[in-house]
Structures are given as structure tokens and as C-alpha cells.
Amino acid sequence: MQDVNAAPTTASMPARLLNRSIGKKLLMSLSGLVLLGYVVGHLIGNLQIFVGQNALNAYAVFLRSIGAWLWIIRAFLLGMLIIHVWFAVKLYFENRSARPIRYKRKVYQEATLSSRTMIWTGIGVFLFVVYHLLHFTFIVTNPQYSHLEDALGRHDVYSMVILGFQNYLISAVYLVSIAIVSYHLVHAAKSMFQTWGLNDTNFEKILRPATVIFAWLILLGYIAIPIAVLAGIVKLPEGVI
Ligand code: HEM
């Protein structure tokens, strides 16, 4: 039995908070918000493709021109991603072991159902990001893109994206992955409201539909790019084959 008179544990306040589910969930929602900020910023940058080759390539050059800051931001985002994934996996296994006897009939509560899908959509998002980095950042899967240059001698990110999405299989992978990202966001918002104690409040009643609309905007914004390429609305510049 627990000794109620025992001296308080020597573990620091943050360490004790981290050992509790709520501490892990808070860290997950904060890191998730930072990653969401990136997803929004990245979408705004990518939409430059509709302005044209110069706009998108200038944006890519601008990102590289911030030099050391780019690496600091990348390291920070990577840290956030690691925290997010690490605690997601930890909470997943803790929840499983808290229920040692498996239910005979699978009767899931609403919250349990969304947390069950979160781990799988989360894995889907993670695998997509790995593929995406190999595709467009490290240019490993399609090394032929690395030699593309525009008239100003800049890396031709614009043509790289178009060439990428002209491939039906690659476009399909992106369309499915972006749908998974958006689905993950809707359910992440739900569990975030729970973590912050906002569920079933009037505030949440307004925020919930707002997050669904927001996730739809993210979905439509991102899928517009491969769709516009496949539909021939965004085309390769003259001379690029
Ligand atoms: C139509 C959809 C997308 C397009 C066209 C696109 C395009 C790009 C391009 C061109 C780069 C390389 C930039 C460069 O090195 O100059 C890039 C990097 C990246 N993208 Fe995307 N992206 C898309 C969707 C996403 C989504 C949904 C996510 C996140 C879930 C994402 C996360 C990243 C990350 C983390 C990087 C690495 C950034 C860095 O270099 O520091 N992208 N993307």
C-alpha cells in the first residue's frame, strides 16, 4: 500500500510531470503545434508554384540564404518531430499495457478509437516525410532532378516539382499521404482539446468546426499542386524535358 506520509519524491517538478500521461500529452500537443506551423508555412511557400517558376525558385533560394538560421530551424523542427513521435509511441504502449486483458468484443469509446487511428496515421505521416525528404530535399529517389537549373542558374525547384508530379504513381503517393496528414490533424485537434480540458466546452464547440475547415484548407491547398500538374494547368517551362 502507498505510504501517504512518505517524504515527497526528489524528482523535479518537470520530471514528475513528464512521468504522467498529462505531461507527455502536453509535450505532444506543443510539439504538434510547432510542426503544424511548419505545415502551414510550407504550404504558403509551395503555393508560389501558381505564381510561376521565378517565384518558387526565388523562395527556395531565400530559404537557403538565411544560412545558419536554416540549420537552427531544421534542428529545432527535427527535435520537435522526435519529441512528438517518441511520446506518441510511449503513450501508445502505456495505454496498451494499462489494459492487460484484451477485450473479448472490441467495443471502443470514441476517444479510444481516434487515439488508435492516430498512431497509424502518425506512422503514415512519418513515412511520407521520410520519402518526401529523399524525393525533394536530398533528391535521392530521382537524382536526375539535381541537375535542373533555371535561366538564373538557380536550382530549378519549380521544374523538379512538376517533373515529380507528372509521374502518376508519385502523385498518387502524395495525394494519399496529404489526405492522411489532414486526417491526422483533425483528430490531433480533438485530442488536444481533451489535453487542455476544452472538450465539451462552448469554446470547443466553435473551435471543432474551425479545425475541420482548417484541415480541409490544408488538404485542398496541398493536393491542388499535384492535381494542377496532372491537369496540365502548371506546365514545365520551355526547354525542360
Ligand atoms: C504538394 C505537396 C508538397 C510539395 C510540392 C512539397 C515540396 C517540397 C520541396 C520542393 C521541398 C524541398 C525544398 C528545397 O530543398 O528547396 C520540400 C521539403 C520539405 N517538405 Fe514538402 N512539399 C509538399 C508537402 C509536404 C508535406 C505535407 C509535409 C509535411 C507533412 C512536407 C514537409 C517537408 C519537409 C519537412 C521538408 C524539408 C525542409 C528542409 O529542407 O528543411 N512537405 N517540400
The region, left, alpha or beta by phi > 0 then psi within -120 to 50, assigned to residue 93 is: alpha
Nearest alpha carbon, ligand 1 atom 36: 133
Contact 174, 165 (CB under 8 A): yes
The region, left, alpha or beta by phi > 0 then psi within -120 to 50, assigned to residue 105 is: beta
Contact 48, 56 (CB under 8 A): yes
Mutate to test the pocket of ligand 1, among 34, 44, 46 (most ligand atoms within 8 A of CB): 46
pTM: 0.86
Cα 205 from Cα 182, distance rounded (Å): 20
- With 0-12 CB in 10 A as exposed, 13-18 as middle and 19+ as buried, what is 234? buried
Q: ∠145-146-152 over CA atoms, to 5°?
A: 100
Looking at the domain assignment, is residue 237 inside a domain?
no
Q: Tens-digit pLDDT profile for the chain (241 aa)?
A: 444 444 445 566 666 666 677 888 899 999 999 999 999 999 999 999 999 999 999 999 999 899 899 999 999 999 999 999 999 888 888 877 776 555 555 545 555 555 678 889 999 999 999 999 999 999 999 999 999 999 999 999 999 999 999 999 999 999 999 999 999 998 888 888 888 888 778 878 888 899 999 999 999 999 999 999 999 999 999 877 6
Give the per-residue pLDDT at 4: 41
Cα 188 from Cα 118, distance rounded (Å): 7
Mutate to test the pocket of ligand 1, among 137, 166, 175, 181 (most ligand atoms within 8 A of CB): 137
How many whole angstroms from 210 Cα to the centroid of ligand 1? Answer: 25
Q: Give the helix ranges, DSSP H, for 98-167.
A: 110-132, 157-165
Looking at the domain assignment, is residue 147 inside a domain?
yes
Nearest alpha carbon, ligand 1 atom 40: 137
Looking at the domain assignment, is residue 235 inside a domain?
no
* DSSP-derived secondary structure letter, 139: -
Enclosing domain of residue 150: 20-99+111-230
Looking at the domain assignment, is residue 122 inside a domain?
yes
Decide: 35 in ligand 1 pocket, CB within 6 A. no
CATH number for the domain harbouring residue 94: 1.20.1300.10
How many whole angstroms from 42 Cα to the centroid of ligand 1? Answer: 7
Total domains present in the chain = 1
Ligand 1 atom at minimal distance to the Cα of residue 223: 1
Decide: 136 in ligand 1 pocket, CB within 6 A. yes
Decide: 132 in ligand 1 pocket, CB within 6 A. yes
The 3-state DSSP class for residue 155 equals: strand
Ligand 1 atom at minimal distance to the Cα of residue 178: 27
